[in-house]
Amino acid sequence: MSLVAAHRTVVPASLIRSAPAAPEAGHAGLDRVGERLTRGLAELFGGLIGTSATVTAAPLRSEGGRVDADAVLRHVRVDALGGTIAIALARGTVVRLVDLHYGGDGESDAGRDQLSAAENRFVTRIAAALAELLPAAWLPLGLTGAALDETGAASDGPAAVQAFTIGWGEGASVELALHYPLALLAALPSVAGADAGESDGDAEWQARLTERALAVPFSVRAVFARPELALTRLMSLKPGDIIPVSLPAQIDLEVVGLRLARGSAGESNDRAAICIDQF
């Protein structure tokens, strides 16, 4: 027994709390975010490249300094923290994804130094869609707002990096990474705190409950016309009668009888559509 006790006393504390393990231990909440994002990312990229996609989240890692110079960055503003996180894609990854999107095999030459205008728009499209996915994934952390920030700048400080591998076909894959500046995460107790305690179970339950609630379907109705008829006219209506209507400049979008938004009529992908102008 004395030999065992002596052995335990000489283990340095630095081996117990080593620096490489910090992201996994100190920011465990981000791992849960990654797990929640995988399904949404699979649907997003499956739609973009026109084939079934699989997404796996890699273990969290930490990086210091600037992001790789070859990376194409877009920034998402985290409303609750007053800062931005970075979405990073390698330049070659963007070229491959755009080639797939337009029906190619995803093996086009990625050696160019600059992206085309279409490729840059494609990256922005991915970032905007990801910004819409993030609030639901962030629920366990207590964050609710995210929006694409076209003025964001890359952070020079250390960051927690959450990487996702997007795969399709026979072994083909690319990587997308989210860079969370550690200075930003320090302002979030639910991420920076080491002791989760019993609240983890409550947070997971709350997150699942919220996810189910957000999936409840609602009847959404676009009101293109509201003709008014006198009671005598209503009482005399019969099959074949014609009621003249005029298309208004603004169309109401109603949810369970309540007006949610107003928009203008138009066309998208050869189908009638509404462009939301205001809520």
52 and 41 Cβ atoms separated by less than 8 Å = no
pLDDT at 165 over 90: yes
Number of Cβ within 10 Å of residue 240's Cβ equals 5
Q: Widest CA span of the chain, in angstroms?
A: 102
Are 223 and 265 within 8 A, CB to CB? no
pLDDT in tens, 37-86: 888 899 999 888 888 889 999 988 888 766 777 788 898 888 777 788 89
Domain presence at residue 66: yes
Q: How far apart are CA 172 and CA 170, in angstroms?
A: 6
Report how many domains make up the chain.
Answer: 2
Reported confidence tier of residue 3, pLDDT bands at 50, 70, 90: very low
The parent domain of residue 271 ranges over: 220-278
pTM: 0.59
Per-residue burial over 176-202, b = 16 or more CB atoms within 10 Å of its CB, e = otherwise: bbbbbbbebbeebebbeeeeeeeeeee
Of the spans 117-126, 133-142, 151-160, 249-258, which averages the highest pLDDT? 117-126
226 and 206 share one domain = no
Residues 243 and 197 in one domain: no
Closest CA to 161 of 61, 252, 66, 34: 61
What is residue 208's predicted lDDT score, i.e. its pLDDT? 74
- Give me the CATH number covering residue 261: 2.30.330.10
154 and 258 inside one domain = no
Residue 153's pLDDT band (cuts 50, 70, 90): low
Q: What is the mean pLDDT of the chain?
A: 77
Query: Which amino acid, residue 131?
Result: A
Give residue 203's pLDDT: 66
The Cα-based distances of 60 to 36, 57, 250 in angstroms read 14, 9, 48
Residues 116, 22, single domain; the answer is: yes
d(CA 5, CA 14): 19
